[in-house]
Structure 1
Amino acid sequence: MTIKEIASLAGVSISTVSKIVNNKDQNINPETRSRVLKIVKEYNYTPYGMVKNISSAKTFLLGVLLRTASQSNLMLNGILQAAQEQGYNVLLLDSLNSTDTELKHITSLCKNNVDGVIWEPVDENSSQYEHYFAEQNISVCYINGPDTAYNIDFEKMGYVLTQKLLEYKHSKIACLMKEKSRRSQMVFAGFKKCLFDNQIPYHDKMRLFISDPACCSKVLSHGFSGIVSSHFASSLILYEQMNKLHYYVPSDLSLVSLKDDVREAISFPHISSIKIPYREFGYYVCRNLIQKCEKKDQGEPEYTFVSQCIFDNEDSLDIPSFFRAKKIVVVGSINTDITFNVDWLPQAGKTTTILSSTTTLGGKGANQSVGAAKLGREVSLIGEIGNNTDSTFIFDILEKEQVTTQGVHRDMKAQTGKAYIYIERDGEGTITIMSGANGNLSPEDIQKRQHLFENAGFCLLSTEIPIHTVLEAAKIARKYGAKNIVKPAALKSIPDQLLQNTDIFIPNRKEAAALCPQHTTVEKQAEYFFQKGIEAVIITLGHEGCYLKTAETAKYFPAADFISIDTTGGADAFISALASFLIEGYSLEKAIRIATYAAGFCVSRQGVVPALIDHNTLETHIKKLEPNLLK
């Protein structure tokens, strides 16, 4: 900084500055003196007479001048490590994204006679200050700036992020960016290159900005199944906003991101990320600067810093839903079941002694979802529970059984539904139900969660929830190409519109009689329902098996040979097994025969959820008795 430049900044003559810095300012206005001295101090001006005394000896002091130091912790650690290993000290300065502040810091570094500087220019105008370092022979290594600056290879990292999504069979991919971000632009360049190398056409809709209020709606409207994000903070925002729209990572959307050092402590959500190698980069640049200061021949340096791109996890990655095996959606009641074992069922005017009691997860929706999940199916459950302690109990069991609970909602104003079940010694029972939150599941709730029907093969519906909600779920399931299996529990009548949207109708003997009182035989009741436009009618008959009516077939199937202990969940076990094996490609008749075994296992044990059979045990048992039944 020269006296002429100081005079220009202060708006005074060169002689005025000279008089002030040499203490010959007796006749100068105090206000002018204060202004000049302030600028002299801010810009570290050194009078020529003092400059002549500055030693040319090495100071073993390095300067680090960053655009902003707020997010560079690990890079600074790398710089310090390299400096200390070589016997250097470091002077750190932050330009705060201001060229004015940057110039003040440059003059400070010159005044301190540093041997070299790691400089991150604020913008393209910063180059006008280069001459200050050149005049004092101070070596400079630029970072994140001009062509001769050292840079982390964000383009390669963007390429690797995109390649990971391609490995998971995604082709509808978008790049989530920050506006006016150099890192975002480099990641985006790698994103486009990876698409080109894999023959995937690029269009401008693939570029998203987290600052755009319509960002999430664009993800949905354009059908993106995978997102590459240049900033972890942007990933977190997208993650939370998509959750609010009931779209979830990774079942509905795969997400990969870069992660910087300020996000190191975040353990949830588990977004699959590549850590930006700031520490290694800082170490690399500082070592190169020291070699430059000591005039060691290093040849032409590699300005682009390349490191291994390793994902910390793959938890937010899955193949697109349309590549997965068809899943099952269950819409129905979720209860806590309180089961009482008694000698005889309660009767008016008589006292019944309870021999024992248990509390388990229940409700036809919950039972069927767990039954299908145990048989190896991907299952999404849609239902309502209360905000009491039962809700935590329910979520814990569903999570343990690997049922997807994104469609299960806590109703803050209701209790969780309860079922009080009385079981006699012969296994027959009776149930009383308090609907609770189940009664609040509305058609609007189904509409909000309709994305859960994507890639569904079957929708299992039971009528312990409002009938208009069941009808809405049946319509939406059909819209997404799923077939509906309806269990008409606790109904005195059933709308024809629901029957018209039903593919497989499964009442038990009593339910069939209640809904079709004009006919007294199972065959005629099944025929009545079939004539309503249903593809297949199956009337379950307890220990007598079931009866099937289709356009091609009308026949009885015997029950599997099991001793009945508790018949409560037999139908739920049957339905979940029927849907599971139909999805595997079995014929309806074979699936029914397999389902009778699943029901037999269930009724031979106490309770429902604990009694539901898993895929391996079921198939092992069937192979011993009917090996030709299985594929």
Structure 2
Amino acid sequence: MNIKDIAKLAGVSAATVSKIINHKDAGISPETRERVQKLVKEYQYTPYAGVKAEQNSYTIALLSDFDSPAHEALMRGTERALSENGYSLLVLNLAGGSERELKSLQIASSRNLNGVIFFGSQSPCAASIEALRKLRLPVMLLGVGEKVPRFLQAGLDVAKAARLGVRQLAQQGHERIGCLLEGEGPFAQQMLNGYIYYGYEHKLRYDKKYVYRSFSGVENGKAGLEDLVRKGVTALFCQNEEIAAGVYQAAEIAGLSIPEDLSVACLTARMSLPFFHPALCAVRLPVQELGEYAARCLIEWIERGDKTGLQPFEAAAQLLPGGSVAAPKQSAKARQKIVVVGSMNMDVMIRVPDFPRPGETVLSPSVNLVPGGKGANQAAGVGKLGGNVWMIGKIGNDREGKLLYQSLYDNNVNMDGVTIDDARATGKAYITVTGAGESTIVVYPGANGKLSAVYLRQNVNLFDHAKYCLLPTENPPEVIDCAIRIARNRGVRVIMKPAAVDRLDSQLLSGLFLLVPNEKEIGLLCPGLDTIEEKAKHFLKRGVENVIITLGERGCVLCNQQETTHFKAANFHPVDTTGAADCFIGALAVSLSEGNGLHAAIRFATFAAGISITREGVQPALPDRAALSVYADEIYE
């Protein structure tokens, strides 16, 4: 950068610039003087720099992104190596993109330097590469993937470091590990590559829904935790400590304990992370060592006049153990398998002020399409709460079927037992909801009607190692009978929802673990009996082990041979009660699958159903662990 360059940028003559910097600017307007002085400061212009450059200054410039979490460590390492060898350090900022890069390089060109170290969050732009070449100085590029002729290059093996961090989480038993990235630059991509590679190498299924990207550190952590915990992850691996700090803050707000409820680890450039409680487990990237290496290589090149024969950078990432990582409460192996055999419908939600009377026309303020069906709802409820759930059912080869499939997949449901039927449309349920939250339902079975005993027997392996089978009775009778027989043969406990039936065969009831009707359903099944207890005992005499009768806002009643116990409903204001029973059953199964007793499982399910009725729809209304954690003191009292 010379006086002519400053003059061109200011739109004045070189003589005018000379007068201003030598304080001989009488007669020059204040605006012109201010414009020239601003450019002189911005580009750090030094008069007669060309003459001074003939002398050896023993100075190396570090061009680094000041916003990068690695900047401080890199500068510390570079400065240490330079001072030990009698060199000084000039630090220039790269944060701000290619325009800032070029300005910093113009400043460097005006200084009497012996070499340059370039460490950016991104690879240098083409104009910056050309500007570096014009310096005609030894240059070290750090963190750049592509080879650039005439320069030295070195970088960090971020992918290998990421594998080390993911391994630390996986060795504790975590299988659903979320990855929180900042931006889409090469550093984030290398970290993602390591995260994916470790999964492939150790047969952990990579799923892009477990990857969250943003462009703000702490806020990324907060948003990422909310998004990924909802999807059932038990551990989070963060790109840097700023994101991890956001995770810690959001976990405290959500009532999640680290590491009891969620394990957290991250990459870092620091030697230690003293401000996290519990101490944050991290993989330390050897950034300071990289700075020392870069400085020593440049010094050797400068003083020998030759860059050949330099040793490659070999420092490895280091694990910093912390208290933020522990075994998950329930690993996939410990979470007992739950199989759901049931219907999959597209729900047509029609809101009305009141139910129309015969012959009456009522206008609806809104109509919505949402994924539903009792089988699909129960499976989604289990998956959203982190259960190990497998769906068995049929959908049509149409838009509704694709939406249903995607909704269940997004809610962590294994879809190996779901088949697409080209002959029939996806089932539909036409649901009318009043302002009071009450509902009526008309169902078109569609592809659900093609679910058969033959299909179940062809997929009998899906019941292997299962603990519970959720079985709503809107399936064809032969399917219900076959599912129960398969479950009995494999020691799988059946939880049945008696929907859309007015009788149940005694052979189906014998040995049934749990029957969960609502008040209307049990009234249809036992029309001659008066009390809830009498109706429940009717099924206990026929071999059912436990009966839970759901009573809406009045809670539910558990009946078995040992007790008749009433459980209060959770205190939530209803917006839409559709699907509350499916939510209750799914949450009940999850709690039981985690080894909890029936009373604890009912309390857990009661709050899950309570949260669901405060939201519209069925699957979109199903709560996740984060939502339930807010009420942990009441659930587990």
Normalization by structure 1: what TM-score? 0.48
Q: Normalising to structure 2: TM-score of the pair?
A: 0.48
